[in-house]
């Protein structure tokens, strides 16, 4: 596996891979790799000849009161895991490489980015879309792979590629879960054992709503009540939002159909957890 912390060797590698007519898949991450990321690498390997994994804790997507300083970082471990999982090139740039002094142009997400995660974390998606645009220009992947756990992010990146005619396909890999259903996240590392038990409220709420929906309850307000009641059984969880939305614009729906997204965010102490389910798909 090649390791690059700067742009020129990445570009040189990319030119060589193009000459060999090989397809490249990019898996963008902020590091602290877990099985969820490695599953995305597995998907990327199926979709392309060569896989680039980026590790960059992007300051632009963190609000001033968020966890940028304490976000888990372990580049040596990430490097070993990436190598073992078949990554061809690990790109871990320094902040000055991604945002050289004086850089000020940003990608703005629009109305869809202002809802839900965007409402709770103002500017978050502008930061994500800006760094992903830059990564797409640097790596020039034929395909980029994101996780369903961050479903609003994945939707916005699909829109970014479409709206700007970027020549990249966006693939979305399923959420990877612990045996008890907790969605894998680098932020799970912040949870105490008791906090982790509270965190299970999200998957339990999603399961309860999915069950009620498959029994025939399609009214979004009634499904939202099911979600709310289930979350209320976890007193250590403070919900940020309960969203039952269309998959394109993330606008609330009144009638929940196949493909409607049920998305939740909640805090356990200072740790934010998110999870979601696409109605009509499997929920383990």
- Contacting residues toward ligand PAF, per CB under 6 A: 28-30, 58, 61, 128, 131-132, 150, 153
The minimum distance between CB 128 and ligand PAF, in angstroms, equals 5
Q: Of 170 and 244, which CB lies nearer to ligand PAF in the complex structure?
A: 170
Shortest gap between Cβ of 150 and ligand PAF (angstroms)?
A: 5
CA distance 213 to 280: 9
At 172 the three-state DSSP class reads strand
What is the rounded CA–CA span in Å between residue 52 and residue 141? 8
Q: State the nearest-atom distance from the C-beta of 129 to ligand PAF, in Å.
A: 9
Is 157 or 279 the residue whose CB approaches ligand PAF more closely? 157
What are the distances in angstroms from CA 79 to CA 75, 88, 102, 105? 6, 11, 30, 30
CB 27 within 8 A of CB 41: yes
Give the active site residues: 37
User: Shortest Cβ distance from residue 61 to ligand PAF (Å)?
Assistant: 6
Taking the least distance from each CB to ligand PAF, the nearer of 231 and 264 is: 264
User: Shortest Cβ distance from residue 37 to ligand PAF (Å)?
Assistant: 8
Closest to ligand PAF by CB, 134 vs 212, is 134
Residues 278, 261: contact at Cβ < 8 Å?
yes
Which residue number, 88 or 150, has a Cβ lying nearer to ligand PAF?
A: 150
Checking 257-264 for CB contacts under 8 A at 24+ apart, the result is: 257/218, 260/220, 261/151, 262/206, 262/209, 262/210, 262/223, 262/227, 263/116, 263/151, 263/152, 264/202, 264/205, 264/206, 264/227, 264/231, 264/239
Helix crossing, 124-139 with 7-19: angle to 10°?
50
- For the chain, state the CA radius of gyration: 19
């Amino acid at each position: 596996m090649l390791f690059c912390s700067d742009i020129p060797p990445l570009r040189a590698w990319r030119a060589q891979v193009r000459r060999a007519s090989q397809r490249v898949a990019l898996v963008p991450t902020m590091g602290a790799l877990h099985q969820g990321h490695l599953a995305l690498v597995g998907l990327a390997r199926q979709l392309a000849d060569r896989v680039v994994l980026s590790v960059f804790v992007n300051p632009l997507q963190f609000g001033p009161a968020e966890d940028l300083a304490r976000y888990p970082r372990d580049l040596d471990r990430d490097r070993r895991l990436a190598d073992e999982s078949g990554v061809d090139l690990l790109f871990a740039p320094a902040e000055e490489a991604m945002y050289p002094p004086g850089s000020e142009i940003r990608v703005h997400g629009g109305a869809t980015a202002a809802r839900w995660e965007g409402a709770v974390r103002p500017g978050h998606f502008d930061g994500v879309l800006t760094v992903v645009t830059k990564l797409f220009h640097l790596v020039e992947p034929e395909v980029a792979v994101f996780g369903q756990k961050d479903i609003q992010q994945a939707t916005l990146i699909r829109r970014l590629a479409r709206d700007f005619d970027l020549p990249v396909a966006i693939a979305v890999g399923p959420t990877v879960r612990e045996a008890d259903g907790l969605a894998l996240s680098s932020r799970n590392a912040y949870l105490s054992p008791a906090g982790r038990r509270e965190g299970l409220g999200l998957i339990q709420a999603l399961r309860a709503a999915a069950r009620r929906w498959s029994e025939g309850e399609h009214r979004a307000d009634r499904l939202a009540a099911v979600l709310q009641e289930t979350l209320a059984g976890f007193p250590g969880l403070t919900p940020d939002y309960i969203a039952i939305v269309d998959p394109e614009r993330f606008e609330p729906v009144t009638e929940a159909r196949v493909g409607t997204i049920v998305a939740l965010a909640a805090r356990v102490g200072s740790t934010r957890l998110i999870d979601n389910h696409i109605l009509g798909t499997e929920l383990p």
